[in-house]
Amino acid sequence: MSFLDKLLLWLHIAFAIFAIGPLTVVTSSIPRYIRKQDLNVLRYLKRMGRVFGLLTLGVFLFGLLLGGSNLGEVYLTVSMTLFIVAAVMLVIIDRDTKKAIAALENDDPSDDGKVQVARIAALGGIVALIWLVILVLMVFFNP
């Protein structure tokens, strides 16, 4: 393994640890704070979700560069597809968080943002499972 490959692997793993981990915590915390109707924390979580979501793209980028000529391997293709699915779900979570914040800012007491809680919780759980499936693919199927 060349120095460049080692560097790309190091960056890939570092971005996975320092971006995907916090992003998973943020997405799993959002429903709790919608229920508590804590707008300040929700705004912070929304902002952190966007920051860590953008940093997560580094995992994909460095994985793509690291894969190089092996991108036709099934485990890499499945992993990249799952990553894109997770990214789409994260966009939906961001949209629903924005709707929940708007509902909580509204003075109408019947509109408390709980419509979004179940979808955000479900999508956040699915995204976490996708990260685990990708991890299994990278560890057990990587030659």
Q: What is the mean pLDDT of residues 2-10?
A: 91
| pTM as predicted | 0.91
What is the model's pLDDT at position 106? Answer: 83
For 23-58, the pLDDT digits (tens) are 999 999 999 999 998 999 999 999 999 999 999 999
Provide the token pair at 129: 């499972």
Q: Residue 30 and residue 49: Cα distance in Å, rounded? A: 10
Q: Write the DSSP assignment of 9-61 as a string of letters.
A: HHHHHHHIIIIIHHHHHHHHHHHHHHHHT-HHHHHHHHHHHHHHHHHHHHHHH
**Count of domains observed in the chain:** 1
What is the model's pLDDT at position 67? Answer: 87
Q: Residue 53 and residue 131: Cα distance in Å, rounded? A: 13
What is the model's pLDDT at position 110? Answer: 67
For 104-139, the pLDDT digits (tens) are 888 776 666 677 899 999 999 999 999 999 999 999
Residues of the domain holding 123: 3-141
